[in-house]
Amino acid sequence: MAAAKGLNGSRPAAAKTRAAIAKRLAAQASGMTTATIAEMDAKHDWFRDLDAEHRSWITLVAGAGINGFVSWFADAEPDSPAPSEVFGSAPRELARRISLHQTVELVRTTIDVVETQIDEVMPRADRAILHTAIVAYSREVAFAAAEIYARAAELRGTWDARLEASVVDAVLRGETDDAVLSRASTLGWTSTQGVVVVVGGAPDPAAPNTVAAELEAIRDQAAIAGLDMLGAVQSDRMIVVLGGSALQQTEWTLGVVGRFADSFADGPVVVGPPVDHLIETGVSAREALSGYRAVAGWPEAPRPVSVHDLLPERALNGDGHARRALARELYDPLRDAGGGLLETLVVFLDQGSSVEAAARTLFVHANTVRYRLRRVHEVTGYSPTHPREAYALRLSLTLGRLLSRRVRAEETSTE
């Protein structure tokens, strides 16, 4: 692009004319920089709020822009200005401390001041040529600024993704210490009440752009629900950590996860139990991973599914926590409740879930059996008349007996 040919298609000035104008312009560059900083201070609150160091960056950039314009104009056939020519004095600091909107204001103010100064301090014969040139130059500077911020955003996105993956990895390994909490805070994590881990298949580990897009889709849904979110892919699994006090309500959590379940690959999506704080997330992660490994034993499981609903499969798959949960949360309360609840449940299940057959075996009225079965539901939260829940109750009977026998044997040995 020939610099002297502006947006209005005017003919380029002769090289000697341009050189002479550039010399006169260079003599005014320092004053233009001073006028620009004064105008920034007068027009922009954010500039006045900066400390001395940050204001010096703005001065350097404004001066580099004006000097760059002088050099660019003096060149008979200039190239587009490189970002380093204008922003090279403090590119990283500028991108971190000064927003893109503020940078646009900086460029606009600088151009306005230069145009005003051209009319005030430059000879009348130079003004039309310089006005045309500054319009072309400002457009190139704007593109340079956009390039810097786009590159910074790309680098920041890559860094954030790696940092996020390291936090998720620490969560899965149960190593959530103060350093991990600090990294999570850097990523925007603010929740102090309620955390759950969600595990599902990665959409396509070989297509990182697809994975990133799906994680961002999940992040958007989490934000709509008022939740913090961290996510990463590990092997063929995608791990999502959600934070928010409402996650203590399992049904609500399943509803939220259901909104973004399609972001996972086809197959099960397992939701871990809520814990109180990110530092305890290893508990939710362990159970979610256990459920994800065991869910194949229940092909008809809902999507998403809570790990609590997978207790039978987890217990059969070797999860000691699940075995103890079935015994302590179902068998022990029934045993301790008395009133014939445990006996009635055993007979009812042994009789093919027939109320009448159970009543005959127990020598009680059928309504007594029905009442006791309702009490079983109240005590355990599981209904003996529901096939899936009856399956969990049946398994809890076996596990409860085995664990009770083991406890008695250990007590006897210690005596």
Contact 285, 275 (CB under 8 A): no
CA separation, residue 116 to residues 112, 135, 402 (Å): 6, 13, 90
Statement: residue 9 has pLDDT above 70: no
State how far the Cα of 368 lies from the Cα of 186, in Å rounded to an integer: 60
> Residues 148-178: pLDDT tens digits?
555 555 444 554 567 777 778 877 777 777 7
CB atoms closer than 10 angstroms to residue 406: 10
Residue 5: its pLDDT value, please? 43
State how far the Cα of 323 lies from the Cα of 320, in Å rounded to an integer: 5
- Which range, 6-10, 39-43, 264-268, is most confident? 264-268
Decide which of 319 and 147 is more confident: 319
Over residues 81-86, the mean pLDDT reads 50
* C-alpha dihedral sign at 164, 165, 168, 173: negative
For the chain, what is the mean pLDDT? 82
Backbone angles phi, psi at 332, to 5 degrees: -60, -45
Backbone angles phi, psi at 228, to 5 degrees: -80, 155
Over residues 93-106, the mean pLDDT reads 66
H/E run at residue 238: strand 237-243
Over residues 182-200, the mean pLDDT reads 84
- CA 171-177-181 angle, to 5 degrees, is 80
Q: Is the pTM of this model over 0.85?
A: no
Over residues 271-293, the mean pLDDT reads 91
Q: Residue 368 is which amino acid? A: T
> Would you list the DSSP string of 367-385?
HHHHHHHHHHHHHHS--TT
State how far the Cα of 328 lies from the Cα of 265, in Å rounded to an integer: 35
- For the chain, domains (ranges, CATH) are 15-155 (no CATH), 173-306 (3.30.70.2730), 320-414 (1.10.10.2840)
Helix axes 208-224, 250-260, angle to 10 degrees: 140
